Amino acid sequence: MSCKTYDEIIEAYFERGLDSSERSRLEAHLDACSECRLDFALYDRVFSYLESLEEVEPPADFTSSVMKRIRALELTGRQQCVRPEPWWKGVAWRAATAVAVVVLVLSAIFLGGRGDVELLPVESPVAMVEYDLGSSNEAPVPPAVRNGAIGVVVSGSGVEVLSNGGTQWRLVERRDVLGFGDRIRTNGCEARLLYPDRTWIKLKPHTMVQLLVDGLRLKAGATWVRVVKRGRHFAVHTPNAVASVKGTIFSVEFVPEDERTRVEVFESSVLVESLGRDGLSRGAVLVGEGHGVDVDWSGPGMLQVLDASAYIAWNMVPPAELIRHDAAETAESTAPVSLEAAPVSSGVSAPAETSREEDEGTSEPADEEVTVDYGNIHVGDR
């Protein structure tokens, strides 16, 4: 055995100790080898020194200095996802009310028309929470999705859930199992819902949704939906609209302050059904690719051509002709208000889009029915 090997054995002697046979072998070698004896003595000094190192005392005002800087941060509003206040406190029209009241009011208003889906069986777990581990172009697929449940992937630990029939919002945790009827609100974070058929939905910050058997109920905020599966009905409901679709990419935003739903279609087409306060249809409109529509209690508005900002708001690359159009006529664009330009439902300005993913513009052929139910619309592809 070379002396170099003994370096490792001597090291091990100090690091973890040796068993008796290793030890006697080392001792025998040290008796015979003066160089290793010196090494042994030097290692002894190195280890003694390292083990004698003691903690140094941090400055006495350390914690208070850090907290002072944190308070200053709050004032400059540099925080992203940690919200200084619950998002609903920023809703101007309900500024002074407590969360329970807001939730009740939202339920009363937004579910009034379609109360039939409010109480859903929860026996079958439909969703499982995972944390976002990356920023790849593809939606991450949590294990739950493989088991046929909906995966909920959140961008941070500020997303909350209200169980169906429950009254207390709580922060979602990894491996949380959600059921139909449960509500999710994103607060300052973002979340994605991943369906077994690879349909997936992005929820912007300050969005609240309820999981439905056939889709989603959007209570406030904005969602982007990419539907890929065939032969299945999927809908996004708002209080006054239901958007039902098959194989397409679209977004739905509901603005509680002005009780307006906006549907924008980026690929294929979406059937948007307008609902009155009585829950009965006020007419439907087929919204084609590159178009958007506003829906209020009175019915769907005129179809509008989307501008580039509508795509950019969801991290999509706008069609080339829109970019050219925008560059040439920025000042006098006749395009309708984009998602981002619309008032943010919660009254809190949504943090800048942080998701780095690119949305693939190549969804599979549309021959499957999905609906999205929002309060005043039923968005469906029929």
Partner 1 sequence: MENEDYRIIKLCLRGKKEEFAKLVDKYHRKVYNLAYRLVGDPEKAKDIAQEAFIKVYKALASYDPRYKFSSWLLKTVSNLCIDYHRTKPASTASLEAVLASGGEASLLGGRRRSVAYEHVEERLELKELQSYIEEGIKLLRPEYRMVLVLRHIENLSYKEIAEMMNLPIGTIKARLFRARRMLKEYLKSRLGDLE
Point out which residues bind partner 1 (CB under 8 A): 7-8, 11, 15, 34-35, 37-39, 41-43, 45-47, 49-51, 53-56, 58-59, 62-63, 65-67, 69-71, 73-74, 78-86, 131, 155-158, 171, 173-174, 188-189
Q: Which of 375, 376, 371 is nearest to 244 (CA)?
A: 371
Q: What is the DSSP string of 261-280?
A: EEEEEEES-EEEEEE-TTS-
In total, the chain counts a number of residues equal to 382
Q: Which residue has the tokens 């029939």?
A: 165
**Paired strand residues for 30:** none
Alpha carbons 30 and 264: distance in angstroms, whole number? 80
CB of 139 to partner 1, least distance (A): 18
When the beta carbons of 86 and 319 are compared against partner 1, the nearer one is: 86
CB of 107 to partner 1, least distance (A): 22
When the beta carbons of 131 and 198 are compared against partner 1, the nearer one is: 131
Q: Which of 159, 138, 200 is nearest to 359 (CA)?
A: 138
CB of 58 to partner 1, least distance (A): 4
When the beta carbons of 30 and 106 are compared against partner 1, the nearer one is: 30
When the beta carbons of 17 and 59 are compared against partner 1, the nearer one is: 59
Alpha carbons 89 and 108: distance in angstroms, whole number? 19
CB of 36 to partner 1, least distance (A): 9
When the beta carbons of 131 and 337 are compared against partner 1, the nearer one is: 131
When the beta carbons of 8 and 360 are compared against partner 1, the nearer one is: 8
CB of 55 to partner 1, least distance (A): 5
Instruction: Label residue 168 exposed, middle or buried (CB < 10 Å: 0-12, 13-18, 19+).
Output: exposed
CB of 117 to partner 1, least distance (A): 30
- Please measure the distance between the N-terminal and C-terminal CA atoms of the chain and give it in whole angstroms: 80
